[in-house]
Amino acid sequence: MQYIERLEEAEARYSDLTEKMADPKVISDSEEYRKVAKAQSELAELVAKFREWRKTDQELSDARLMLEDSDADLRQMAQLEVARLEPEVAAIEQELQVLLLPKDPNDEKNVVLEIRKGAGGDEASLFAAEVFRMYSRYAEEQGWKVEVTSLSESSVGGLSEVIAMISGRKVYSRMKYESGVHRVQRVPATETQGRVHTSTITVVVMPEADEVDVQIDPKDIRIDTFCSSGPGGQSVNTTYSAVRITHLPTNTVVSCQDEKSQIKNRAKAMQVLRSRLYQMELEKQMAQIGAERKSMVGTGDRSEKIRTYNFPQNRLTDHRIGLTLHQLDLIIEGRLQPVVDSLTSYYQAERLRDQGRAA
């Protein structure tokens, strides 16, 4: 098998890290222990899969040797074993190739999710609310936590804009392909002649940036406080708990009025601001890469329609990978995993092809 040396090195490194975790010196240093545990955890899946391959490959070798046996019954048993084990070994080797791909450093991060209505007026705002509910239910299924940072309701009960933080295990790795223009086709409740209307919303998924990722000079921001408000501008409370932060060099503005505490709103707004600035930097790097950028998704580029939700046909189509599923009723209720799995598999295959061409 290819990459055998890399896999053996990874296994040796994993064993070394496991030993270190039992070292009293490392245990007594919480920061060092955290680093070692994190490094070991990152190798765990790869090493477990490599050990599975080695065991299965040995079983296959043993079965092939039995094909030369003088006993006809043993040879027949060996043929059955070889027929079972060959595809199993091939499948594990494919999984190992994927696990050896360079990791996206943001995959483990939480995300900032931004949804805004696009073309289509009230219908677009209603769809924005439905898509936010879809992501919220999917997050609940995954055991993630959703915290709304900012929310602007429309007059018909939809959402003009919603910004939320989603935290949990490997959130960005599953959500990063959702950025782009989402289109809905259906008959609005207000339509009297049964005509199908088309509306759009934009979705942006950004990895949450830590203070280490983005340093913000206090001189570069202006912080304003105001009373939080509800639909139609009505006052929700009379204290200046809502916070608006403006990053002066980029003119990036972030507001947060979800919490009753000004301190909490300020902390959340700073998290969103850091993530937006981090995203800007990522997009600059992507632009410099040039041709490779064409094959990348999830960068917040809103110019491209990525998906259509056709309600009359109960159909979801992802235009990037040619995926069509006739189960929109389930997907809109948060059963998003088949879409996530298809996107992940497609782009992993793309990276494997790119790696093969580069080799």
19-42, pLDDT tens digit by residue? 999 999 999 998 899 899 989 988
The encoded tokens of residue 76 equal: 């027949």
Average pLDDT over residues 246-267: 85
Q: Within the chain, how many helices (H) and strands (E) appear?
A: 9, 11
Name the pLDDT band for 304 (thresholds 50, 70, 90).
low
Q: Which of 139-148, 214-223, 304-313 has maximum average pLDDT?
A: 139-148
Name the pLDDT band for 266 (thresholds 50, 70, 90).
confident
Average pLDDT, the chain: 85
Answer yes or no: are the C-beta atoms of 124 and 199 closer than 8 Å: yes
Task: Convert the pLDDT of each residue in 94-103 to its tens digit.
Answer: 889 888 888 8
Q: What is the pLDDT of residue 297?
A: 35
Angle between helices 337-358 and 72-100 in degrees, nearest 10: 90
Q: What is the pLDDT of residue 125?
A: 92
Higher-confidence residue: 221 or 234? 221
- Cβ neighbour number for residue 359 with a 10 Å cutoff: 6
Residue 328 has pLDDT above 50, yes or no: yes
- Rounded Cα distance, 258 and 240, in Å: 12
Higher-confidence residue: 210 or 92? 92
CA atoms within 13 A on the CB side of 284: 6
Residue length of the chain: 359
Name the pLDDT band for 55 (thresholds 50, 70, 90).
very high
Of the listed ranges 147-156, 185-194, 242-251, the one predicted with least confidence: 185-194
Answer yes or no: are the C-beta atoms of 49 and 64 closer than 8 Å: no
Percent of the residues in the chain that have a pLDDT greater than 90, as a whole number: 48
Angle between helices 4-21 and 72-100 in degrees, nearest 10: 70
Cα dihedral 164/165/169/172 (nearest 10): 80
Residue 162 has pLDDT above 60, yes or no: yes
Single-letter code of the amino acid located at 41: S
- Rounded Cα distance, 62 and 64, in Å: 5
Name the pLDDT band for 13 (thresholds 50, 70, 90).
very high
Answer yes or no: are the C-beta atoms of 110 and 142 closer than 8 Å: no
Let me know if domain 111-349 sits in CATH 3.50.50.60: no
The single residue listed with the structure tokens 């200046």 is 240
**Angle at the Cα of 253 (from 256 to 119), degrees rounded to 5?**
90
- Rounded Cα distance, 58 and 69, in Å: 18
285 contact partners, CB below 8 Å, separation of at least 6 = none
The encoded tokens of residue 346 equal: 């497609």
Name the pLDDT band for 359 (thresholds 50, 70, 90).
low
Percent of the residues in the chain that have a pLDDT greater than 70, as a whole number: 88
Q: What is the pLDDT of residue 59?
A: 95
Task: Convert the pLDDT of each residue in 110-122 to its tens digit.
Answer: 999 999 999 888 8
